[in-house]
Amino acid sequence: MKLLRFGSPGAERPGILDGDGRLRDLSGFIPDIAGDALLPKNLDRLRALDLGTLPLVEGTPRLGPPVGRVGKLIGIGLNYADHAAETGATVPPEPVVFLKATSCIAGPNDALPIPRGSEKTDWEVELGVVIGTTAKYVPESTAMDHVAGYCVVNDVSERDFQMNRSGTWDKGKGHDGFGPLGPWLVTADEVPDPQALRLWLEVDGQRMQDGSTATMVYGVRFLVHYLSQFMTLHPGDVICTGTPPGVGMGQKPPRFLRPGQTVRLSVEGLGIQEQRTVGA
């Protein structure tokens, strides 16, 4: 299934794409795509629906993030060896974990604000993992049982704030709009191997990132297991699994975003995002 949320910010309604790619309204069956709606039994209820009987949504409404009320937006740093190399870092012996403020979450095509005083706002296409059942101290062998599905993430980062402002990475990761999700939450049954997905990003039509989740240092299964040793993962939590090479700070010379540019990105099978950068 391809689940999504549509409507104005803060008032999104749940939807689903039918077999012809048309948007159908799910609000008669679930209040939102959030929390317990992501439990396996409730996803099974949605699978059993005759989508042709659901109200058809006309036009092209705004798409919001495909998951509502995200409790934790968890980032994994330096999870592609070639990306670590381009930034001058070494591959960590364990996953680097940071949290992005949930207030940074945006729709896939919303405007992307460049923070005031920013000179190094950067892009990062990533595979997002959406948790479907509570995970605490889970073994690696059963970790995938806790995954509801996947989505595209742009882990937007302000590199100067991230690295030079006397703190952890969080200062450069949490500005409003720095966490576009979507367009869809694609359920796990439609992604047989999350470690075999192409992902790419373009700025003003120029391909900057072009990689594969096959080159992750730590894969999805391990990350769910690993994170559950340090924090309880709840339905609707989202894990941003790291980015392949081609970020702005890795260019020679470095290149960063400025207002008036267009960023497009995708993960294979999960849809396309497009953001226009604006001044905050």
pTM: 0.96
pLDDT higher than threshold 90 for residue 162: yes
Residue 177 CA to residue 105 CA, distance in Å, equals 6
Instruction: Count the helix, strand and coil residues of the chain and give each as a percent rounded to the nearest 5.
Output: 20, 30, 45
Tokens of 215: 């080159």
pLDDT higher than threshold 90 for residue 220: yes
Give me the CATH code for the 73-279 domain, please. Answer: 3.90.850.10
Q: Judging by DSSP bridges, how do beta strands 262-267 and 198-203 pair with one another?
A: antiparallel
Phi-psi region of 261 (alpha: psi -120 to 50; beta: other; left: phi over 0): beta
pLDDT band at 82 (very low <50, low <70, confident <90, very high): confident
Domain boundaries, the chain: 2-63, 73-279
| Cis before 183? omega within 30 | yes
pLDDT band at 213 (very low <50, low <70, confident <90, very high): very high
- Cβ-in-10-Å burial (0-12, 13-18, 19+) of 49 comes to middle
> What pLDDT digit, counting tens, does each position of 26-77 carry?
999 999 999 999 999 999 999 999 999 999 999 999 999 999 999 999 999 9
> What pLDDT digit, counting tens, does each position of 90-147 carry?
888 999 999 999 999 999 999 999 999 999 999 999 999 999 999 999 999 999 999 9
